[in-house]
Amino acid sequence: MLNRTLLSLGTETAFTVLARAGELANQGKSIINLGIGQPDFSTPPHIVDAGITALRDGAHGYTPSMGLPILREAVQEDLSARYGYCPPISQIQITPGGKPVIFMAAMIYGGVDNEIILPNPSFPIYQSAVAYSQATPVFYSLKEQNGFAFNADEILSKITSNTNMIMINSPHNPTGGITPPSEIKKLVEGLTLHPNITLFSDEIYDRLVFDNKPHSLLSYPEIRDRLILLNGWSKTYAMTGWRIGYGIWPKQAIEFADKIGVNYHSCVNAPTQFAALAATTGDQSCVEEMRLAFNRRAAIITHKLNEIKGISCQKPKGAFYAFPNISAFGISSDKIQTELLEEFGVAGISGTAFGSFGEGYLRLSSANSDALISEACDRLKQLANGYL
């Protein structure tokens, strides 16, 4: 008999669509992939070289479970330089991608009797991990009319005596929205009345911000002792397949985060940690080049989408996703996702893959070439013509 708890696990539709897009491409169909959320750039050569050198130099064994001390120090210095706060090294954990930090946070702060407040729409693993922990998910909405920023009053109004953790994500997947500092400040101030609630801030897109202003919860001293921060190298340095990220944990949680890591993955592979070290300590011009490219493509995709009758799309403020409103089509986003891929060869993700409030929207990643983004929008226009 299978463990019944498994029935609570969700998944990430982007991987299902990626597999189907691959099948169609193998059959010789012309496929444009705007589905999966990963930079289309290669990892910059100096980072790849550092990984290869580490392998050649014999970095073949286990490392400390929390990560190489030199890498944790580099993370500490990087955060200190960018956000003016130096988290204790003992609270920095290197993980195989940013994703495990979500799962660990749900295991540590979830569980029966606890409520966890999270955004809708949001990265689907939040809901999956919360449900798997047996906690009750309580959703707040991210609305198009608010630029997909959260509303602090709405979040605070959801708090009950059972609330144990609140999850936020800015810049945001799937909408590309960024919550302004005024709203974040309001949330942080509101939480001073609830000292037992932990705040989880997913900042995996913190370097992909188009106004180039710093956006981190680390900038708010009042909340630091109960903040879980997720970040990593996947999006910033085009390193999704290397599998490396990090979590900054509250003091009381770190022992358990480490225990879960030891039970599950032991440590991140050593050469990847050396590659990440080269990324963090090396020349940062590659990050700026990719940020500018994503900003340019965000402008292209928004312009092209808004030219299509029946579609409206806000320009994303960060990350690399557009979240066009397609409700005028009058059919479900799931159906549009299927038709767009099967009939028109464009992989995009239904808004409902990120929660029920995503109905009427589509997530299109702009991590593709300018030409293919334009071509994908032309194909979407053909689809739209069939409905409008």
Name the phi and psi angles at 307, rounded to 5.
-75, -15
Least distance from C-beta 222 to ligand PLP, angstroms? 24
Provide the sign of the torsion angle of the four alpha carbons 42, 218, 73, 58, taken in this order. negative
Exactly one of 51, 87, 137, 245 binds ligand PLP (CB under 6 A); which one? 245
Exactly one of 51, 67, 87, 97 binds ligand PLP (CB under 6 A); which one? 97
**CB closer to ligand PLP, 204 vs 380:** 204
CA distance 238 to 44: 8
CA distance 85 to 282: 21
173 binds ligand PLP (CB under 6 A): yes
345 binds ligand PLP (CB under 6 A): no
Q: Reduce the DSSP state of residue 269 to 3 states and report it.
A: coil
365 binds ligand PLP (CB under 6 A): no
Task: Retrieve residue 142's tokens.
Answer: 């991210």
358 binds ligand PLP (CB under 6 A): no
8 Å CB contact between 29 and 345: yes
Burial pattern 98-119, b for ≥16 Cβ within 10 A else e, equals: bbbbbbbbbbbbbeeebbbbbb
272 binds ligand PLP (CB under 6 A): no
8 Å CB contact between 366 and 31: no
Least distance from C-beta 176 to ligand PLP, angstroms? 11
Residue for token digits 């900054």?
248
240 binds ligand PLP (CB under 6 A): yes
Q: Segment near ligand PLP (CB under 6 A), from 91-99, 278-286, 335-343, 353-361?
A: 91-99
Exactly one of 35, 39, 98, 345 binds ligand PLP (CB under 6 A); which one? 98
Exactly one of 76, 169, 179, 272 binds ligand PLP (CB under 6 A); which one? 169
Least distance from C-beta 51 to ligand PLP, angstroms? 16
Reduce the secondary structure of 160-174 to three states and give it as a string.
CCCEEEEEEECCCCC
CA distance 273 to 288: 22
**CB closer to ligand PLP, 329 vs 354:** 354
Total of residues contacting ligand PLP (CB under 6 A): 13
DSSP state of 223: G
**CB closer to ligand PLP, 13 vs 91:** 13
| DSSP one-letter string for 167-219 | EEESS-TTT-----HHHHHHHHHHHTT-TT-EEEEE-TTTT-BTT-----GGG
204 binds ligand PLP (CB under 6 A): yes
Q: Segment near ligand PLP (CB under 6 A), from 86-94, 232-240, 305-313, 333-341?
A: 232-240
Residue nearest to ligand PLP as judged by C-beta position? 97
Site for ligand PLP in 118-137 (CB under 6 A): 123
43 binds ligand PLP (CB under 6 A): no
Which residues of this chain interact with ligand PLP, rule CB under 6 A? 37, 97-99, 123, 169, 173, 202, 204, 232, 234, 240, 245
